[in-house]
Amino acid sequence: MRVGTLIASGLDCLVFEAGAGKVVKRSRDGRSLEREASVMRHARRHGFPTPEVFDADGPDLLMERLEGPSLKDLALQRPGDVAEYGRLLAELLRALAAVRAPGWLQAAEGCPGNRLLHLDLHPANVISTGDGPRVVDWANAARGAPAADVACTWLILATAPVPEAPGPQWRQDMVGGFTAGSDIDAARPYLPVIAERWRADRPVDPAEQSAIDAFLAGERHEAAG
């Protein structure tokens, strides 16, 4: 696909302008994004808020350009509203839990079920547009139990580094808003599985590893109590 100016750069993909209202997401390593495009189309057909996909060809995905800040940017700009943004993440996962996964989508190991899972739904992957939130970056999507998706977002919110955060209360409020709107008792058993998957999928530095270990230990204690 022909592309214009580079407008965003991530670990796995680059995003380019592609004409009015459109962008091309291109994988850095040449992996096909056609499966991701199919997942997004499936979610959108079932009423879940994702960008519209126009075309997919190998490593290129042509989709709607979203105008607006990420939920992470909003939360950093408005720390007094952080708990509200945590609740929004919980609402999005409840809505996604109603979407049955397509039969061709691979199962999430250790998380049996038939629902569509995002497995990376965190504030940077939610864009706040004039038409409401839109969820992006479906590369980890799988089929499984909705509680596993809750566990994944919970673990990210509780342990992922956010160096721009104004202080520990910011994280506490985000996690508190999310857990208040989620069935954390159902999610808790999936935390070790999700943590292992997370460690296998990307580099985890010692500080983050310590945060994950402490969080898991605390939740094991909570479950036992």
Please give the pLDDT value at position 225: 65
> Residue 20 gets which letter from DSSP?
T
pLDDT digits (tens, 9 = 90+) for 192-206: 999 998 888 777 788
Residue 121 lies in a domain: yes
Question: Is there a single domain that holds both residue 27 and residue 60?
Answer: yes
Question: Is there a single domain that holds both residue 37 and residue 88?
Answer: no
Question: Is there a single domain that holds both residue 115 and residue 201?
Answer: yes
Average the pLDDT over 118-127 and give the result: 97
CA distances to 44, 46, 142, 147 from 104, in Å: 17, 16, 10, 21
Question: Which of 24, 23, 59, 63 has the alpha carbon at shortest distance from 43?
Answer: 63
pLDDT band for position 84 (50/70/90)? very high
Give me the domain span that covers residue 40: 6-64
**Could you give the CA distance from residue 127 to residue 72 in angstroms, rounded to a whole number?**
9
Q: Which residue has the higher pLDDT, 57 or 200?
A: 57
Q: Looking at residue 10, which CATH number applies to its domain?
A: 3.30.200.20
Conformational region of residue 22, where left means phi above 0, alpha means psi within -120 to 50, and beta covers everything else: beta
Q: What is residue 179's three-state secondary structure?
A: helix
Question: Is there a single domain that holds both residue 92 and residue 193?
Answer: yes
Question: Is there a single domain that holds both residue 213 and residue 139?
Answer: yes
Residue 155: how many other CB atoms lie within 10 Å: 24
Residue 1 lies in a domain: no
pLDDT digits (tens, 9 = 90+) for 172-188: 999 999 999 999 999 99
